[in-house]
Structure 1
Amino acid sequence: MPGTKTRAVNEAQLHELPEGLGGAHIPPTPLQEFADALSQLVTQKFHELTGGLASIHSRHKALAGIIMSRGLDARQAQVVALSSGTKCISGEYLSDQGLVVNDGHAEVLARRALLLFLYAQLELYLSTRHEDWERSVFVQLKEGGFRLRDNVLLHLYVSTSPCGDARLHSPHELSTQLSASKHVVRRFRGHLRTKIESGEGTVPVRGPSAMQTWDGVLLGEQLVTMSCTDKIARWNVLGLQGALLGYFTEPVYLHSIVVGSLRHPGHLARVLSRRPASLGPLPAAYRHNRPLLSGVSLAEPRPPGKAPHFSVNWVAGTPDVEVLDATTGRRSCGAPSRLCKHMLASHWAHLYGKLSTRTPGAEDVPATYCEAKLGARGYQAAKQQLLAALQAAGLGTWVQKPPEQDQFPLRP
């Protein structure tokens, strides 16, 4: 991996890349070529996977993929998770058994698909066959638990700037002359934003309330889901692994983010990796990650027309894509998605039975999904520190889903 000095130079280069890099006036750099290669890997994999589906399922407004590389070598990179989608669940379909996917946006589904890949990699390490655990992306720590191998890097590709503040301001900051109407938009720069239920676009978080209520949503209150910009910024502090995998692994961070279109590199860096400005010391192993940021030389054109109501996801190791109705949060046939909380919790409970003796401080298996998440003490401490820092910086209050959705039992 590059040293600290080299990384600082690379980060500065990537943060300042203008649109259209690779054209006649600016020759492509090795890092730009690497970013282009990541983009091509994801788009080619998506076309390969959806080629046999009805043509409607290959349509998308946003495509995202997570790529794993061995160092910064595109020849040793592979797509491990990908998805499409721009819609969220309608409040009437909320599940108190963890059987739906609330957020069908491409970036969020790609990260959830990555969780399945990481669970499979932990299972691989626990194999009794030496050649299997040698192939795992994880290594075991002397004090217990696991971390990614030193040369394993993860990258996020998004075909268009993430919804929320990153997309809202990107087209406007290219001009130094702001109209009166743009001053209103600029006043909320960096503010937390939420997606609009059953629609597109985002709005600033409203008021100091951080919790939605189950009965309120079922009686017609609009279900609030945090924007992809804000979720990616959160991953840059808490990691991609989430609370449950945090029992077993050190935080898993992105090494780079590649955005296809509708981006302003300076603002993208501010909202994805520099909010809030100061966090203070985080719990052990957590840090304020600042991934390398880049555009692509030639962005894939966004198809015209309305965004489809379905999302497609795939994870390495599975033969087929899964199609979700993003409005209901279930598969097209009505069955639960492999990415829903209930399915992911099942993978966690299975691993917990194997790994609890190797994990420091492990206790009996929690009774509910909520208890399991709260038991990840380091993750929860880092989360509360991040949310408090965002609020103290005047960027708004992170809105939580109704707590009832996380209270389902882990075992029948």
Structure 2
Amino acid sequence: MIPAGRPFPGSRGASFAQNLSRNLNTAPGLEKSHKQPASLKDSSQYPVKAKVSPQKLIERYMNGESDAVSLLHQLARVFQFHLEMKETIASDVPPPLPLKEESCVGGSCHNRPSYEAKVPVNMQIPHAVRAQLTRLMSFHPEFSGCADTIAAFVIQAGSECKVVALGTGGFNTRENISSNGRILHDSHAVVTARRSLMRYLYRNLLMFYSKNPTLSQQSVYQHKSNSNFLCLKSGISLHLYVNMMPKGAAVIPSKLYLNPLSISAWKVSNEIGLHLMVEGKLVSVFSSEVENLAFKVVSMSTADKITQWQVIGYQGALLSHFIEPIYAQSILIGDSCCSEVRGMEFSVCQRMEGVTSQLPMFYCMMRPLISLVPSVANCTPSSNQLTHCINWSEGDSTLEVVDGLEGKTVEESPFKSGTTLASRLCKAAMLHRFKLVAKEAERQDLLVASSYREAKRMAKPYQEAKSVLRAYLCQKGFGSWLEKFSVSDNFSK
């Protein structure tokens, strides 16, 4: 999040018309009307022979210097054959570009595919979120009006689903960028829930490195063979629930047919490209309004952030020093106003298709199962709590209430960290937990970091994955990611 007065690259990378054409050509029922002359074909479709020998590539893989996916792509270049891998953890997923289907005449559609019917919906997850929200509100009913917009992370182990992090809210702070790390600049529900998840992950790291065997056993982590990083125990998976469709490219208008004959390519580009959140308003990165956002706090849209986290993980840079990337296996949307998830499928999955081969080891584009489920929050916002945001994670004695416009804890909050009213989700609090874990893990190399920014930069694979992702989005014509304002990370405690 940065003031938008900084220069913003306007390059769209690849032509959007080219990207749209490629996607439409692969959609079911669409065929090319003519063959392209060989001389005009895109040379990027044909691999260039690599100079490294196959034996050397296999040795790197056996030594743990690359992963299996990267090895396959490298061997494809060596032997000059076309390799196409579907980056998915689930079968029966929608086509590369989700097309809006025409309405059926007479109520009969014999040839119409039904993707939603093939996606399993775990009804335990919304039930678990509702139960946890009800429990928290029963202790503090005066804040029930803050729970109209909610996001939650759920850990599933076997048949048991447990809410481990929860957040509400929908605001950016109106304050200037903080240089001491004690202001929350983005309090949207998914962001609040994700930072609460990070607190949960830190707490489990402290348990894992504890000298108490019982606590260590209760942690969600385990050592991974041939790796210095920890990973989630076998059989444990992470799921994301949101009760509103994330703002941004996930919200494709009902009349937007992704077809060049029905709408201009420019209009489509604005709809499915990257977006910014400015004072509660959604703005395309291609909009002329971007030039008039000087001195305002700006953040990327929720849909774009989820797209990023499904590639680089939800754990963030600091936790990446200790654990492998953690991805959501499913994203459940409890929005009663939504009837389809094609926009979310495109935003999170199709936009990043093909990026895995360029990512460092352990990182990939994790395609989640996306489905509609019942809503768990039917609260009407209280007029005097419209800007209030709630956060909670497993292990917390009570919830914390933050004023999203101020970026600080409110005086009436059941939990307050101190007289400064800095939230337990702020960057300074995260740096404190990072240092505690580094000390318990006896990682002296991490304790020498001079600032929050330096500690993040030291997570080189994570930073490389983030750079690859953002360059990939720009190259594919979805726009440039807004870079963070560096002064906000230049604090040491």
TM bin, normalised by shorter chain, reads 0.7 to 0.9
Pair 1:290 & 2:367 matched? yes
State the 1:270 CA deviation. Answer: 1.0
Tell me what 1:21 maps to: none
Q: Which amino acid aligns with 2:171?
A: K
Which residue number corresponds to residue 348 of structure 1? 434
Q: Pick the structure with greater CA Rg.
A: 2
Distance 1:270 1:409, change over 3 A: same
Q: CA deviation at 1:116?
A: 0.6
RMSD of aligned residue pairs (Cα, Å):
3.4
What is the identity, as a one-letter code, of the residue corresponding to 2:135? E
Structure 1 residue 402, shift from structure 2 partner: 1.6
Cα deviation for residue 310 of structure 1 reads: 1.0
Between 363-372 and 334-343, the greater mean CA deviation after superposition: 363-372
TM-score under structure 1 length normalisation = 0.82
Match for residue 22 of structure 1? none
List gaps (5 residues or longer) in structure 1.
19-25
Q: Is 2:219 the counterpart of 1:136?
A: yes
The CA distance in 2 between the partners of 1:232 and 1:79, in whole Å, is: 19
Aligned CA distance change for structure 1 residues 178 and 48 (closer, same or farther; 3 Å): farther
Residue type matched to 2:342 in 1? Answer: G
Please give the secondary structure, in 1, of the residue aligned with 2:358: coil
Contact map agreement 1:70 1:152 (CA 8 A) in 2:
yes
Q: 1:300 deviation in Å?
A: 4.9
Cα deviation code 1:157-197 (max 9, x no counterpart): 00010111212x154459999987x9864332321001122
Residue in structure 1 matched with residue 135 of structure 2 by the alignment: 48
Per-residue deviation, 1:299: 6.7
8 Å Cα contact 2:270-2:287 kept in structure 1: no
Cα gap change, 1:407 to 1:61, in 2 (>3 Å) = same
Aligned with 2:390 (options 301, 312, 323) = 312
Distance in 2 (CA, whole Å) between partners of 1:7 and 1:95 is: 40
For residues 260 and 360 of structure 2, the distance between their equivalents in structure 1, rounded to whole angstroms, comes to 43
Residues 146 and 248, structure 1, Cα contact 8 Å, conserved in 2: yes
Q: Which residue identity is paired with 2:219? A: S
CA 136–289 in structure 1, closer or farther in 2 if over 3 Å, else same: same
TM-superposition CA deviations, 1:120-141 (whole Å, max 9, x none): 1111111222222121110023
Task: Tell me what 2:145 maps to.
Answer: 58
CA–CA separation in structure 2 for the residues paired with 1:343 and 1:305: 29
Structure 1 residue 52, shift from structure 2 partner: 3.1
Asked whether the equivalents of residues 137 and 143 of structure 2 are also in contact (C-alpha less than 8 Å), the reply is no
C-alpha contact 1:349 1:365 (8 A) present in aligned 2: no
> Given the superposition, is the C-alpha separation of residues 245 and 166 from structure 1 closer, same or farther in structure 2, using an over 3 Å criterion?
same
- Cα displacement string for residues 64-96 of structure 1 (whole angstroms, at most 9, x for unaligned residues): 10000114x2xx11000001111111143x210
- Distance in 1 separating the partners of 2:151 and 2:436: 29
Runs of at least 5 residues in structure 2 that lack an aligned partner in the other structure:
1-85, 101-113, 412-419
Where do 1:267-282 residues align within 5 Å? 267-279=343-355, 280-282=357-359
Secondary structure at 1:346 match in 2: helix
8 Å CA contact retained: 2:172, 2:404: yes
How far does the alpha carbon of each residue in 1:220-269 deviate from its partner, in whole angstroms, 9 at most, with x for none?
62211101000000001100110000000011111110011244322211
Q: Which residue of the other structure, out of 157, 165, 169, is the alignment partner of 1:85?
A: 169
Amino acid at match of 1:321: L
1:105 aligned residue: 188
Q: State how far apart, in whole Å, the 2-side matches of 1:299 and 1:47 are.
A: 9
Tell me the CA shift for residue 144 of structure 1: 2.1
Q: Is the 8 A contact 1:97 1:405 kept in 2?
A: yes
Match of 2:33 in 1: none
Amino acid paired to 1:324: V
The residue number in structure 2 matching 1:191 is: 273
TM-score by length of 2: 0.69
Shift of 1:49: 0.5
Corresponding pairs, count: 378
Q: Distance in 1 between matches of 2:121 and 2:469?
A: 34
Measured in 1, the distance between the counterparts of 2:92 and 2:213 equals 37
SS in 2 for 1:160: coil
Distance 1:326 1:129 in 2: 38
1:5-404 equivalences in 2 (<5 Å):
8-9=90-91, 11=93, 32-34=120-122, 36-71=123-158, 73=159, 76-92=160-176, 94-142=177-225, 143-167=227-251, 169=252, 171-173=254-256, 185-197=267-279, 200-206=280-286, 221-261=295-335, 262-263=337-338, 264-279=340-355, 280-297=357-374, 300-301=377-378, 303=380, 308-333=386-411, 335-357=421-443, 362=445, 365-404=448-487
Give the residue type in structure 2 aligned to 1:338: R
Q: In the superposition, relative to structure 1, how do residues 175 and 164 fare at CA in structure 2: closer, same or farther (>3 Å)? A: closer
Alpha-carbon distance in structure 1 between the residues aligned to 2:149 and 2:429 = 25
Q: What is the distance in 1 between the residues matched to 2:260 and 2:446?
A: 59
Cα offset, 1:149, TM superposition: 0.9
The ranges of structure 1 where at least 4 consecutive aligned residues each deviate by more than 6 angstroms after the TM superposition are 28-31, 174-180, 304-307
